Amino acid sequence: MNKYIAILLLAFSGSATAADYNCIVNKKLTSGKTYTAQEIAKWQFAVKIEERGNKAFVSRCSYSSIENKITCDQYEADKIVFDEHVKIIKFYYFRGQFDVQVFADLSFIENNGRGGISFGNCKIVSP
């Protein structure tokens, strides 16, 4: 079994887990724009996921030119779904119409709820 699938199965099995994921965006699209590699590098888009038992917190992060650092907006997931058939975990934040899906190979898709979609890869930063 692929080691990432094993990690995801363990992390998403519904037991009391604590895991953090750092998901770096490498492709970003909106309804009217595809971000260039230079823009992605400049804005340093990322998604962070913190699992704490049956709760999860999802953060959208990017570089703030006003604050001259990376800043994050954090949301508590309203719903967490693990699809046993395709080994995908989905985190939903309904008020912001925002969701993140993490696949067994640790790739991810972020739907920001306002016409933007980001793709990239996650790393487990604390199991």
pLDDT at 1: 36
Domain span at residue 11 reads 3-126
Beta strand 46-52 with 33-34 is unpaired
Domain count, the chain: 1
pLDDT at 40: 97
Tens-digit pLDDT profile for residues 47-57 = 999 998 889 99
Tokens of 52: 């704490």
Tokens of 25: 């965006």
Q: How far apart are CA 74 and CA 34, in angstroms?
A: 25
Indicate which CATH number applies to the domain containing 48: 2.40.128
Residue 2 above 60 pLDDT?
no
pLDDT at 38: 97
For residues 70 and 77, the answer to whether their CB atoms sit within 8 Å is no
